[in-house]
């Protein structure tokens, strides 16, 4: 193979890797900032905007560089590999000192974008000796776009779930450095005296990135420990979220993406409010229950206190949360091995998808009975419709994380609640955790108003004091009256609830009073804004 052919292939490889790395750097930065600050739409949009503007500036500035193209290109690539590879470790580090986080995010995004903007013009000019302008632009862009395509596939299916954000950026930095190694091999004569300096830069940057990879787990442990006051007994990054379990004496806590899910000291208050309270107001039998979220097993444990419940379906997207709750000794002690109970069926799926799929089964079954779903709902528990009733639920409990991202906010929309309502039996009850009516008052009442708008005839907001969370809100909804208490005696086993406090849980202070705020919908996810606005006001 001629040297000219080898150089052409080397430049083609450079275009491919440039496209691969540039997209992943952008995705990593946007994902990390969204993970720390929430509001993924806002920060993905800002990241893309700054990135593209900086790329444009880099492309424009490239025209002022006319000599020593190969050596200058390689020097820029070393800088890009360093900035891109170390971008996520730097964001993690500055998040501990939050005043530096946003400036670091902006500087990194713009700097990386600027250097990426230099790549295509440089590669196009370097190919001038081998092809016509029309051909070399087509070749460079083709392989750059192919690299970008592979990157967008690898990021969600391999890089994030297997390596995590932190190590992915370091690995991509090393991959980026292979451009320098390949071009040095085939353009050695064009480098002249700069060859030694470039090689020294390549070696130094590769050493830094390799060392950072070797010590990544230790660095992440130290970083996690700096964020949490208590000892970390488990930490992992799954495909969907960061899971951290901490322990301080008798206090075991679970965090998902930095947000506390429970404290073992007072979780019983939360779970009695979420489950035992609506059970008091549910008319008729509760045979079949659907849990959305609740992969830690604590809500299942609470439900198993009711012998009348025959089946519980738990739907949790992240399989690792459930597996951890089954195997971690601290979580197993808390949930009393509830996830192993034969009454429980575990489904790993998106909550919205599960509800849609289950309703499809309900419609199909209703059609085989030659009656509409509405007609079935008007019947009593007869033999004719008993099998259909077994597909629907008497009680649906939403124990999903707070709506601090656009992905989670969609699980609090009118469309979601309408689909959920179709999965309830005619006297069924739905209850959802609804964030704090004190810290995020607008968000709480938006959830309430959205449930009203979704068609439930009776919607009851209530709240309870959970010291780890503060004043915490819930909303209960049904097409049946919710004012008359059932015959169930939940107080013999309760640690928190007693008969005298039930009505007071529906009373809100003046600074928590009902607000005429917008409902949350797929098209207009106002809840995300309400939620972030409320918590940020208090410095969270």
**pLDDT level of residue 410 (50, 70, 90 thresholds):** very high
Known binding site: residues? 241, 271, 296, 316, 350-351
pLDDT of residue 42: 87
Domain boundary among 163, 192, 222: 222
**pLDDT level of residue 384 (50, 70, 90 thresholds):** very low
**Domain range holding 390?**
266-537
What would the two tokens of residue 272 be?
């009695």
* Whether pLDDT at 301 is above 80: yes
What would the two tokens of residue 9 be?
């292939």
H or E segment at 459?
strand 458-466
Q: Are residues 18 and 134 in the same domain?
A: yes
pLDDT of residue 160: 83
* Whether pLDDT at 341 is above 90: yes
**pLDDT level of residue 486 (50, 70, 90 thresholds):** confident
pLDDT of residue 122: 85
pLDDT of residue 138: 72
Q: Are residues 360 and 413 in the same domain?
A: yes
Domain boundary among 208, 237, 260: 260
Cβ atoms within 10 A of the Cβ of 149, count?
Answer: 12
**pLDDT level of residue 372 (50, 70, 90 thresholds):** low
* Whether pLDDT at 318 is above 60: yes
* Whether pLDDT at 287 is above 50: yes
pLDDT (average), residues 497-525: 93
Full DSSP string of 313-374: EEE-S-HHHHHHHHH-HHHHHHHTTGGG-TTEEEE-S-HHHHHHHHHHHHHHHHHHTTS-HH
**Spatial contact of 512 and 437, defined as CB atoms under 8 Å apart:** yes
Full DSSP string of 199-210: HHHHHHHHHHHH
* Whether pLDDT at 483 is above 80: no
Number of compact structural domains in the chain: 3
Q: Which residues contact 139 (CB under 8 A, 6 or more apart)?
A: 12, 15, 127, 131
Identify the active-site residue in 144, 394, 399, 402. 399
Q: Are residues 244 and 294 in the same domain?
A: no
Greater pLDDT, 424 or 382:
424
Q: Are residues 328 and 204 in the same domain?
A: no
Distance CA 338, CA 371 (A): 38
pLDDT of residue 51: 93
Distance CA 274, CA 291 (A): 11
Q: Are residues 205 and 314 in the same domain?
A: no
Known binding site for spermidine: residues? 271, 296
Q: Are residues 202 and 299 in the same domain?
A: no
**pLDDT level of residue 74 (50, 70, 90 thresholds):** very high
pLDDT of residue 382: 47
- Whether the full predicted model's pTM is greater than 0.95, yes or no, is no
pLDDT (average), residues 143-158: 88
Q: Are residues 50 and 176 in the same domain?
A: yes
pLDDT of residue 485: 73
pLDDT of residue 114: 95
The pLDDT tens digits for 163-193 are 888 999 999 999 999 999 999 888 888 788 8
pLDDT (average), residues 18-39: 89
Q: Are residues 236 and 202 in the same domain?
A: no
Q: Are residues 200 and 282 in the same domain?
A: no
Q: Are residues 233 and 213 in the same domain?
A: no
Average pLDDT along the chain: 88
* Whether pLDDT at 380 is above 50: no
Domain boundary among 222, 248, 278: 222
How do the residues of the chain divide into helix, strand and coil, expressed in percent and rounded to 5? 60, 15, 25
Q: Are residues 26 and 41 in the same domain?
A: yes
Q: Are residues 181 and 218 in the same domain?
A: yes
Distance CA 377, CA 392 (A): 10
Cβ atoms within 10 A of the Cβ of 391, count?
Answer: 16
Domain CATH for 454: 3.40.50.150
Distance CA 276, CA 394 (A): 14
Known binding site for S-methyl-5'-thioadenosine: residues? 241, 316, 350-351
Greater pLDDT, 290 or 5:
290
What would the two tokens of residue 43 be?
């920060």
pLDDT of residue 52: 94
Percent of the chain with pLDDT over 90: 60
Active site residue 383: no
Q: Phi and psi (nearest 5°) for 377?
A: -65, -25
The pLDDT tens digits for 116-145 are 999 888 888 877 766 555 566 777 778 888
**pLDDT level of residue 226 (50, 70, 90 thresholds):** confident
pLDDT of residue 11: 84
pLDDT of residue 29: 95
């Amino acid at each position: 193979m001629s040297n000219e052919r080898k150089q052409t292939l080397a430049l083609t490889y450079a275009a491919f890797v440039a496209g691969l790395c540039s997209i992943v750097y952008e995705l990593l930065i946007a994902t990390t900032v969204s993970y720390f600050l929430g509001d993924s739409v806002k920060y993905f949009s800002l990241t893309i905007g700054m990135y593209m503007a900086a790329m444009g500036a880099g492309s424009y500035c490239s025209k002022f560089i006319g000599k020593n193209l190969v050596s200058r290109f390689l020097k820029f690539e070393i800088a890009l590999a360093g900035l891109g590879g170390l971008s996520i470790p730097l964001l993690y580090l500055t998040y501990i000192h939050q005043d530096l986080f946003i400036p670091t995010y902006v500087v990194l995004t713009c700097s990386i974008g600027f250097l990426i903007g230099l790549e295509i013009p440089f590669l196009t000019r370097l190919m001038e000796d081998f092809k016509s302008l029309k051909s070399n632009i087509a070749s460079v862009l083709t392989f750059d776009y192919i690299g970008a395509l592979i990157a967008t596939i690898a990021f969600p299916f391999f890089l994030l779930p297997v390596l995590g954000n932190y190590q992915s950026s370091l690995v991509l930095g090393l991959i980026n450095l292979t451009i320098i190694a390949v071009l040095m091999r085939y353009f050695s004569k064009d480098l002249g005296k700069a060859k030694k300096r470039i090689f020294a830069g390549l070696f130094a940057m590769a050493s830094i990135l390799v060392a950072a990879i070797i010590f990544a787990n230790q660095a992440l442990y130290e970083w996690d420990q700096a964020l949490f006051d208590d000892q970390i007994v488990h930490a992992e990054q799954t495909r969907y979220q960061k899971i951290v379990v901490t322990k301080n004496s008798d206090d075991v806590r679970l965090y998902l993406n930095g947000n506390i899910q429970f404290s073992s000291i007072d979780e019983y208050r939360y779970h009695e409010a979420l489950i035992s309270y609506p059970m008091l107001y549910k008319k008729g039998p509760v045979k079949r229950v659907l849990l959305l979220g609740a992969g830690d097993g604590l809500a299942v444990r609470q439900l198993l206190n009711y012998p009348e419940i025959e089946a519980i379906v738990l739907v949790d997207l992240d399989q690792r949360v459930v597996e951890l709750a089954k195997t971690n000794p601290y979580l197993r002690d808390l949930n009393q091995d509830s996830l192993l109970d034969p009454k429980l069926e575990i489904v790993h799926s998106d909550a919205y998808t599960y509800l849609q799929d289950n309703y499809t089964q309900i419609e199909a079954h209703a059609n085989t009975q030659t009656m509409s779903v509405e007609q079935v709902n008007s019947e009593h528990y007869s033999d004719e419709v008993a099998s259909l009733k077994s597909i629907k639920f008497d009680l649906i409990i939403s124990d999903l994380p707070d709506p601090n991202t656009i992905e989670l906010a969609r699980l609090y929309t009118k469309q979601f609640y309408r689909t959920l309502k179709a999965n309830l039996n005619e006297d069924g009850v739905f209850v959802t955790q609804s964030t704090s009516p004190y810290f995020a008052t607008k968000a709480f009442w938006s959830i309430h108003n959205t449930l009203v708008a979704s068609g439930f005839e009776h919607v009851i907001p209530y709240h309870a004091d959970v010291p780890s969370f503060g004043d915490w809100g819930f909303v209960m909804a049904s097409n049946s009256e919710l004012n008359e208490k059932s015959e169930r005696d939940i107080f013999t086993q309760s640690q928190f609830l007693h008969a005298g406090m039930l009505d007071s849980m529906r009373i809100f202070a003046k600074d928590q009073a009902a607000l005429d705020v917008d409902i949350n919908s797929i098209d207009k996810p106002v809840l995300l804004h309400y939620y972030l606005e409320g918590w940020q006001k208090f410095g969270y």
